[in-house]
Amino acid sequence: MKYTIALIDDQNHESLDRGLAYEKFLLGPSNSSAPLELQSYGVKIAESSPIARIEPVHIHAARDHLVLTSTEILELQQDEADALFDSVKDIFAEMAVAIYRPKANRWFIESPSLQSLSTVSTEQAQGRNIDHWMPIDTTIAGVARQWRKWQNDIQMIWFNHPVNERRASEGMLPINSIWISGIGTLSEIKPSHLLQEANLLHSPNSCLSVLAGHLNKQHTSSLTSNALANTLSLVSLSDPSITELWNMAGNALISNQIQEIVLVDFPEGQEKTRHISIDQFPKKGFGPWKKPITPPLQDMLRS
């Protein structure tokens, strides 16, 4: 029996790989996060429906390139989103066979014509030169060009939109573009074997709950020592609970409740997995009274 801890670093490294490493760990190489997120809003979609996430965003001009601003600071209100969408709904009708807008800042489209695009999340692209992170073609040429045309058309309409004029008068950033990401189908979701092998998925927040439901697994936001066996936890390195969780895992290994801790992190944007047995723990005491103790988590991450 094993217990797996997957650690997410809140800092985005300067890797130029398309897609964050932990996204690929959770969802597989296609990173079809959009259909999974749409389901979390209670929308029923077919396994084969190609869904993309559309976010209203602000892109600003730096000295010699364009930069995507963090979506968290935009504070887009529902009435603003409704007015902005209404002004470009004909463009969306061209690109999508179905449109869903469960939140002001979260729109989704079902779009077979865009299914082959390679996209990255705003989380990865924000604060960086967007040239490298724009959608690109994979198997069908010309799809990215068509997307950029639609995006440019929307940007022109929103340039002097009343919503943006009002936002500017109130000292807020205008919503001047859209960002597409997470495109794919539910059937393309192929999580790491570590998630598939786990019986229980744990995260202090609800970030794993939707994936757990998709995989027909249980999810919990709190974890006790007697529930570690065959469980996977997804925790941020900055989460205050990580030290307690690590010590609980160490004690479970020492007391033989589990036989192995699998520690996964993503240094410099690359997945790294360590299989930790009791033999790798330091010992404290003298002679035959030496007993294993749980080492600091940072020591194991450096190994």
Instruction: Tell me the pLDDT tens digit for each residue of 93-145.
Output: 999 999 999 999 999 999 999 999 999 999 889 988 888 899 999 999 999 99
Average pLDDT over residues 76-93: 98
Can you tell me the distance from the alpha carbon of 122 to that of 135, in angstroms, rounded to the nearest whole number? 12
Using alpha carbons, list the distances in angstroms from residue 39 to 23, 55, 89, 213, 214.
17, 17, 23, 10, 9
CA 227-228-233 angle, 5° bins: 115
Q: Supply the pLDDT for residue 11.
A: 54
Contact 185, 192 (CB under 8 A): no
Give this prediction's pTM. Answer: 0.87
pLDDT score for 86 = 98
Distances in Å between the Cα of 22 and the Cα atoms of 46, 151, 207, 234 are 25, 28, 12, 10
Per DSSP, the residues of 212-229 read HHHTT-EEESS--GGG-T
Closest CA to 11 of 145, 127, 91, 92: 127
pLDDT of residue 257: 94
Average pLDDT over residues 199-217: 91
14 band by pLDDT with thresholds 50, 70 and 90: low
Q: What is the DSSP letter of 118?
A: B
